[in-house]
Amino acid sequence: MSFGSALTDADRAIGLARGIATLIPDDLSTGNLGLELGLSLWMQRADLPLTDACAILLTVRDALIETSGLDPDHEPIPLLAGDDRTATLGLAIYLHGMVDRAASCTGRSRHAVAEAAIALLSS
C-alpha cells in the first residue's frame, strides 16, 4: 500500500484485513482502547471518514466468506445499529470473531485466513 498515492477501496480493505488478523482477545476487553485506536489509525492512514468505514468492513466480510470455507447460509449477518462509531466498532468485533471461526473451521492461523481474503481483494 503506497501512502503517496490515492488509495483504492481494495487497498483500504487489505489494510483492515491485516489489522483484524492481528487482534487478540485483550484488544476487545472493556476499557482496552486497542480496537478503537487501531480502527482510528487505519481510517486516518486510509483517508477514510467514519461514515464510509462500514462499507469497507463489509467488503472484508465478503472476501472472508468467499475464501474461508465458512458456510454463507449459516454465517450471521451483522446488525449495523446505532451511530457510525458504534456500528463500525460492532462490525470490527464481528470480523474478529469471523476470522476466529474461519481459522477454527479450516485449521489455519488467523493470519492465513486473512491473507487468503487479501489475495482475493488484490485480484
pLDDT tens figures, 65-101: 999 989 999 998 888 989 999 999 999 999 999 999 9
Give the pLDDT mean for 103-114. 94
Q: Tell whether 23 is covered by a domain.
A: yes
Distance of CA 95 to the CA centre of its chain: 5
Of all residues in the chain, the percent with pLDDT exceeding 90 is: 76
The residue ranking higher by pLDDT, 27 or 37, is 37
Q: Tell whether 4 is covered by a domain.
A: no
Q: Number of folded domains in the chain?
A: 1
Q: Tell whether 72 is covered by a domain.
A: yes
- Structural domain span for residue 115: 9-122
pLDDT (0 to 100) of residue 108: 95
pLDDT (0 to 100) of residue 36: 92
